Amino acid sequence: MRVISKIHVFECFLWGTGCVRLYKDGGLFRFVFRGAHPVTWLMMVVCLIPSVLTGTKLSDWVPLALPAFWVNHSDQLQWVTPWTKLSSLKPFHNSSLANRFKTGTAE
């Protein structure tokens, strides 16, 4: 199996435009927008109204940076593409990090 089987079609479309990078986040795959890409700016305009209506930050809708956990543990970070084989992904090196991450306490 490949990563494409685990992500939403819209995420795959965004990756295809080149405006996002995908990374492994525990058992999920998340993305970070590239700040200088035109599609990123379009997404910011589109997401502005839902952001205002729900009272959340625009960066929650259009993440431009990695979460603090991944910044602090960049040696564990794995960038992927939709065509990356799931079997080629490495498990966490530190089991305590993996346990903290599974319980949702890692930030």
What would the pLDDT profile of 66-96 be if each residue is shown by its tens digit?
A: 999 899 988 889 999 999 999 999 887 764 5
State the pLDDT at residue 5. 92
Q: Is the pLDDT of residue 28 over 80?
A: yes
Q: How many domains does the chain have?
A: 1
State the pLDDT at residue 104. 54
pTM: 0.78
The answer to whether residues 33 and 64 touch, using CB atoms and an 8 Å cutoff, is: yes
| Residue linked to tokens 């494409």 | 4
- Residue 26 sits in which domain range? 3-103
Q: What is the pLDDT of residues 89-105, one digit of tens each?
A: 988 776 455 555 555 55
